[in-house]
Amino acid sequence: AGSAMAAVRDVEIDSEGTFKYILLRLQRPGGGEQRHIVRGTKAAEFHNHIFEKINPEMEKLGYECKCLGGGKIEHSSKEKKIRVFGLSTGYGKADHSVTVELLKKEYTDYEITWSDDKK
């Protein structure tokens, strides 16, 4: 069972541009293991579009999926920079510091910053 959760990537975001993102908590029903994941894409007009896509995928794997909030990510792969900011109207502001810790594991050679700025 542990391998299924390990198979879920911590971070899946677009490689370029500014886009919405959400921070999610995955949990085995009845407690047990849990972890945070980050998902962001330009394809999502609203934060709930991201959730509506990921939630059924995670339920198939046997996780309860909870959105802990959202924001925006500005990603420049050329400059190796990621900026996390803003909030989600529907879900509220994600804890950007948690998001940044996950991003740092994936993008080890990047400069990654966050702020509560709206833009």
Annotated binding site for substrate: 20
Question: Angle at the Cα of 10 (from 100 to 33), degrees rounded to 5?
Answer: 110
The β-bridge relationship of strands 34-41 and 16-27 is: antiparallel
Q: Is 47 a catalytic residue?
A: yes
- Catalytic-role residue among 36, 47, 49, 75: 47
Question: CA–CA distance from 9 to each of 14, 89, 106 (Å)?
Answer: 14, 25, 9
Give one DSSP letter per residue of 26-38, joined into a string. Answer: EE-TTSS-EEEEE
Nearest CA to 116 among 91, 95, 89? Answer: 95
Catalytic residues: 47
